[in-house]
Amino acid sequence: MKKTPQTLTIAGSDSGGGAGIQADLKTFQELDVYGTSVITAVTAQNTTGVSAIYPMSPQAVQMQLGAVGSDFELAALKTGMLFNSEIIKEAVAAIRKFGWENIVVDPVMMAKGGADLLQQEAVDALKTQLLPLALLVTPNIPEAEALTGITITSAASRRYAAEQILGLGAKAVVIKGGHAVNAEYAEDYFLQTNGESVLYRSVRIVTDQTHGTGCTFAAAVTAELAKGQQLKDAIFTAKQFIQAALSEPLNIGKGHGPTNHAAYKAGMLGKKEVNKIEVFQ
Ligand SMILES: Nc1ncnc2c1ncn2[C@@H]1O[C@H](COP(=O)(O)OP(=O)(O)O)[C@@H](O)[C@H]1O
Ligand SMILES: Cc1ncc(COP(=O)(O)O)c(N)n1
């Protein structure tokens, strides 16, 4: 009997439903994998910002990880908001204990409104303990800068930052371009340890409805890996997924609205020229 691929997200809850655990589970569902979740923190959040953060105790995280690990056969997992170094330690311990592979680390540091989703003291633990276990790490530009101390202003500095991140032990990195000053394109730059690089380019969609883009992108990569796709193909599908999700806005909330997680499966991608993804190897 063929089993549905099983996945896990270790992340924070977004009461507004557009980012974090909620974005991840919606994305898993849309891409036909089974999603489980370990909640690291509960945020009181909507499209206008984060008003409070309630981290789970390390024990609460450990118990959730144990419950998932003792029952499910995970084909891939992602991490999102981890908040502090104690929670990172629990995630690392469970990854080792259960022998989980295909680990996608979205090094979530800050919400778009500026709230700290990773405490400063935890950046070191993320770098030294979690990144060495990652198949892929998916920083946006400010996160890649925080991980490396490099200011990204050009293709050369982006490549240099990617190399430094691989130096931390991740097998591959994709530096996402949502925050770049490129008005025309959103470019995601992929580099892996054998030196191979790929640039994924789409037309930049003019919208302020970008809440949860990073979570959704990493969850889509995770789902595709769980289905057995190669990393480069999984990233291509994730880029298509987020492009469709941005191009069919839901117009929900008073601030930075959530993306449309249903658009890709509903076939909206193929319908618009703007949604073509270019790939440069
Ligand atoms: N305006 C946009 N138009 C098209 N793609 C975008 C846009 N903003 C972000 N993306 C894409 O969304 C994904 C997440 O990128 P980014 O927004 O940089 O991450 P984060 O949410 O972590 O800050 C990437 O694939 C990026 O290229
Ligand atoms: C619980 C939680 N996790 C992550 C994000 C980052 O969201 P984005 O994907 O827009 O960077 C968020 N705002 N809230």
* Cα distances (Å, whole numbers) of residue 237 to 97, 127, 214, 243, 274: 30, 27, 14, 10, 16
Q: What is the ipTM of this complex?
A: 0.98
- Rounded to 10°, the helix 58-69/85-98 angle is 20
Helices (H), 152-260: 155-167, 213-226, 231-247
Q: What pLDDT is stored for residue 270 in this prediction?
A: 60
CB-based contact 143:109 (threshold 8 Å): yes
Count of structural domains within the chain:
1
Domain that holds residue 84: 6-280
Ligand 1 atom 17 nearest Cα: 178
Query: Which stretches within the chain are classed as H helix?
Result: 20-30, 58-69, 85-98, 123-125, 141-148, 155-167, 213-226, 231-247
At residue 85, the pLDDT reads 97
In DSSP terms, 51 is beta-bridged to none
- The residue among 257, 259, 256, 258 whose CA lies nearest residue 246 is 259
List, in order, residues 6 or more apart from 149 with CB less than 8 Å away. none
Kindly report the CATH number assigned to the domain that includes residue 161. Answer: 3.40.1190.20
Ligand nearest to the CA of 206: 1
Does residue 268 form part of some domain?
Answer: yes
Instruction: List residues with catalytic annotation.
Output: 176, 210, 212-215
Residue ranges around ligand 2 (CB below 6 Å): 11-12, 14, 19-20, 43, 45, 80-81, 108, 111-112, 117, 211-215
**63 within domain boundaries:** yes
Question: Nearest Cα to 44, choosing from 101, 111, 106?
Answer: 111
Q: Is residue 133 part of a domain?
A: yes
Task: Please report which ligand is nearest the Cα atom of 207.
Answer: 1
**Among protein residues, the one whose CA lies closest to atom 8 of ligand 2:** 212
Q: How high is the pLDDT of residue 146? A: 95
pLDDT at 271: 62
Whether residue 99 contacts residue 119, with contact meaning beta carbons closer than 8 Å, is answered with no
Q: Are 13 and 60 within 8 A, CB to CB? A: no
**Which protein residues are within 6 Å of ligand 1, measured from CB?**
140, 176-179, 186, 188, 202, 204-205, 207, 210, 213-214, 217, 239, 242-243, 246
Q: Is 164 domain-assigned?
A: yes
Does residue 217 lie within any of the structural domains?
yes
User: Any residues with CB less than 8 A from the CB of 176 and at least 6 apart, and which?
Assistant: 138, 139, 140, 141, 188, 214, 217
Q: Which residues pair with 52 in a beta bridge?
A: 44
Which mutation among 81, 106, 241, 246 tests ligand 2's pocket best, with the greatest number of atoms within 8 A of CB?
81
Q: Give SS3 for 103.
A: strand
Q: 48 in a domain, yes or no?
A: yes
Residue nearest to atom 24 of ligand 1 (CA): 176
| Within-domain flag for 1 | no
Dist. CA 19 → ligand 2 center (Å): 5
Full pLDDT tens readout for the chain, 281 residues = 788 999 999 999 999 999 999 999 999 999 999 999 999 999 999 999 999 999 999 999 999 999 999 999 999 999 999 999 999 999 999 999 999 999 999 999 988 877 899 999 999 999 999 999 999 999 999 999 999 999 999 999 999 999 999 999 999 999 999 888 788 999 999 999 999 999 999 999 999 999 999 999 999 999 999 999 999 999 999 999 999 999 999 999 999 999 999 999 988 666 666 678 999 99
Distance 44 CA to ligand 2 centre (A): 12
Q: What pTM did the predictor assign?
A: 0.97
Asked whether residue 101 is assigned to any structural domain, the reply reads yes
| Side chain identity at residue 266, one-letter code | A
For ligand 2, pick from 108, 179, 210, 222 the residue to mutate: most ligand atoms within 8 Å of CB.
108
